[in-house]
Structure 1
Amino acid sequence: MNEPRLFLAALSLIASPAMAGDIDLRIVDAAGRPVSDAVVTVRPAGGIPAGPIRFPWGTTMVQQNIAFSPHVLIVPVGATVKFPNKDKVRHHVYSFSKAAKFEIKLFGQDESRSYTFTSPGAVALGCNIHDAMSGFIKVVDTPFAAKSNAAGQARINGLATGTARVTVWHPLLKGKDNELLINLPIPASGMVSKTVPLALRASK
């Protein structure tokens, strides 16, 4: 007589949302000053959920004022990035990085080119015409990613409870692949706040 009730109770447990917590990191340098453009990625204890990865900030890196904007862009594996030229001069975008080796030859004002990134990793960009131009695309295979703002803050929500593997990347970070790895316990609910100091090389 109780079997239907037991079945419904079990079904409700399966259908209920998994417990999840959030992290709020403050990225600073050795002197305690905030570090912007640090990329934080997380692999939760339960792994990466299935399905396509999308971010709200889009997949466009503009050339404007003889600079790449944004300076650091996070995109998922498989993303096609557009490179519109808003300058009055021509640009020649290239990368020799392990994650993506390519070049986009000369194109002028109001023209746009694109490239599809198929491997995770950091991609350093340059311009063959303007040596001072530099930019970075961080290609990720997790939907749990964020970039630190001017205050050094990076927040990621909805992480499954358990010990998560957190990676912090910055183009000037000392260490293998410019990365720092942290194991961070994620609660069943609520926020984990942590200050993460980085050892950075001097910028050129």
Structure 2
Amino acid sequence: MFDLHLYAPQSSRRVVFRRPGMVRVFCNIHATMSAVIAVLPTPYFTVTGPGGHFEIQAPPGAYRLLVWQERAQAPVLAALERRITVDGGNLALPEIRISKEGYLALPHKNKYGRDYPPAPEDRIFYPGGRR
């Protein structure tokens, strides 16, 4: 658990994660603003580009290929794990499809363990707005 508090625009804070895993980060002001940090025990990882394609430059050897998507359920991701062998050439994999079936965004508490205030209605900020 860590808290970076609020800080000035154009500034940054640093946190070092010492154990691999997925770290969910939430905004203490906006209930729907969040991020996920993947702390990985390997230098061989990537994110997909447009169209879902990816490439990883890895030396020859045997590897476990794991995929992850924020909205996919753990059993779905476990079923997509592959054992692969890289022999120095290009390795073409069959298409991998990830389902977000069963995903349910659950509300979370703020850092003080309290509910977030209700979202304001647009009409408060936009005079003349209709209900």
* TM-score normalised by length of structure 2: 0.66
Which of 4, 7, 10 is the matching residue for 1:107?
7
Unaligned runs of 5+ in 1: 1-100
5 Å matches for 1:50-199? 101-161=1-61, 163-175=62-74, 180-186=80-86, 188-194=87-93, 195-199=95-99
Cα distance in 1 between the residues matched to 2:9 and 2:76: 34
- Superposition deviation, residue 177 in structure 1: 9.8
Unaligned runs of 5+ in 2: 106-131
Counterpart amino acid of residue 44 in structure 2: F
How many pairs were matched up?
A: 102
Cα distance in 1 between the residues matched to 2:76 and 2:99: 13
Counterpart amino acid of residue 74 in structure 2: G
The runs of at least 4 aligned residues of structure 1 exceeding 2 Å deviation read 176-180, 201-204
- Superposition deviation, residue 103 in structure 1: 1.1
Deviations 1:6-46 (A, max 9, x none): xxxxxxxxxxxxxxxxxxxxxxxxxxxxxxxxxxxxxxxxx
Higher-RCO chain (CA-CA 8 Å, sequence separation at least 6) = 1
Cα distance in 1 between the residues matched to 2:26 and 2:37: 11
Deviations 1:34-82 (A, max 9, x none): xxxxxxxxxxxxxxxxxxxxxxxxxxxxxxxxxxxxxxxxxxxxxxxxx
- Superposition deviation, residue 140 in structure 1: 0.7
- Superposition deviation, residue 189 in structure 1: 2.8
Does structure 1 retain, via aligned residues, the 8 Å contact 2:25–2:34? Answer: yes
For residue 13 of structure 2, give the secondary structure of its aligned residue in structure 1: strand
Structure with higher strand content: 1
For residue 151 of structure 1, give the secondary structure of its aligned residue in structure 2: helix
Cα distance in 2 between the residues matched to 1:129 and 1:178: 31
* TM-score normalised by length of structure 1: 0.45
- Superposition deviation, residue 147 in structure 1: 0.9
For residue 117 of structure 1, give the secondary structure of its aligned residue in structure 2: coil
Counterpart amino acid of residue 142 in structure 1: T
- Superposition deviation, residue 127 in structure 1: 0.4
For residue 123 of structure 1, give the secondary structure of its aligned residue in structure 2: strand
Does structure 1 retain, via aligned residues, the 8 Å contact 2:59–2:88? Answer: no
Does structure 2 retain, via aligned residues, the 8 Å contact 1:120–1:139? Answer: yes
